[in-house]
Amino acid sequence: MNEYDVIICGGGPSGATTAFYAAKAGMKVLVIDKSKFPRDKACGGLLTARLFDELPELEKYIKPIIECPSRDVNLYSPSMKYKIDFEFPEGTPWNITREVFDNAVLEAARDVGAEILTETRVRDFEFNGGVTVQTSNGDFKGKMVIGATGPNDKLATMVREKRNIKPWNDNQMGTALMWEPVVGKEFVDKTFSDSRSLLVHFKPGGIEGYGWVFPKKEILNIGFGGYNRTIKSVKIKEIWEDYINLLKEDGYFPKDQKTPPVKGAPLPLDGPLKATTMDYTLLIGDSAGMVSPLSGEGIYYGMHAGKLAIKTIKAALETGDYSQKHLDQYHRDWNEVFGKELRDLSFFALMALKLPERMVYYGTRDEKLCEIFADLFLGVTPGGLGKRKPITRAIFDAIRYPYFGLG
């Protein structure tokens, strides 16, 4: 049986990035994923500009497959009474399709020496002075293992049990549902202009979340996401049809096209886990809850964590110390870089999703507040803005622009 320095379970952006940097560092790496690539995933498909600041080594693989930038956003309140038209001052988001993007990052890992094993299901783990990963294609031995398969990661469940962390519930989990119909470049150019304006609707169908249209070259990424505590109480198909009809009425979707089907994916929205390691094991990305509770964006956090993990993996290989205590350095490293940011975003998600009508109302009157929320959504400020500046501005607007409505 071949032995690897590190086995990564999950070939999405988080796992593939970890594999890329580990292989570049000279490690023997195996990536295992259940899917056949290229494969799609329910996601808005936006990259924040800081991704390239933190991961410049991957830029040559990613830049060629970017669809287009988006330079502004149109954001509607739940009642449609208030609308914000906001041009991004900096940190323009980049549009990608996950099918192409995920495959590109995985191929980047292969390009620098990582072994890739797809269409293979992980069945179990045996820890025996290392770890044996039992799969549908045989067993594989590694000195360490990385969990990067998402919110239902088996390794994450094992870490939770080991570290006394309760499973996520419907108040902490969300669902993202989307589809990418091809509508043609002519329609996208005419409707969303060269700016490829993003479209956001708060609380579609009463869901505690938001709906979106993110235009690509010839495709519209249409979807909505929110907390399971409200999504599970509604009829998804009806809300999806109502949302598409709303877009048709407003001219954002071709009237002659049939309502596209919808697909979904789970989304952790409670911030990162309080522990992301155990003996021989690290958790990366969605498996560790590294997702913005405000925007649902997790690509940047997972990929950045994958790069940060290399320092700890390398030290473990050099010392032969794979203990939880030693591997906790990884947890401290990512927590120092963006842990507080994710915890702050949990607070702002509560404020924005509980009072969206009010927040959009204030945004129509205060461009500075729009800049603050654009920063929170796109992560322009390294490490996050903190709580003081956004809260102070919201209080200022509440005093200056009295609001007497609901929500």
Predicted confidence at residue 332, as pLDDT, reads: 98
Residue 291 tokens, joined? 């997702």
| Residue 14: other Cβ atoms inside 10 A | 32
Contact 151, 290 (CB under 8 A): no
Q: Which helix or strand (DSSP H or E) is residue 28 part of?
A: none
pLDDT digit string (tens) for 236-273? 888 899 999 999 999 999 999 988 788 888 999 999 99
Predicted confidence at residue 382, as pLDDT, reads: 66
pLDDT digit string (tens) for 345-377? 888 888 788 889 999 999 999 988 888 887 787
Q: Looking at this protein, which amino acid is placed at residue 325?
A: K
**Segments making up each domain of the chain, as ranges:** 3-67+94-168+269-339, 173-268, 347-400
Low-confidence ranges of the chain (pLDDT < 50): none
Radius of gyration of the chain (CA): 21
CATH code at 3-67+94-168+269-339: 3.50.50.60
Closest CA to 183 of 255, 85, 135: 255
Half-sphere exposure of 311 (CA within 13 A, CB side): 11
Predicted confidence at residue 388, as pLDDT, reads: 83
Q: Looking at this protein, which amino acid is placed at residue 27?
A: M
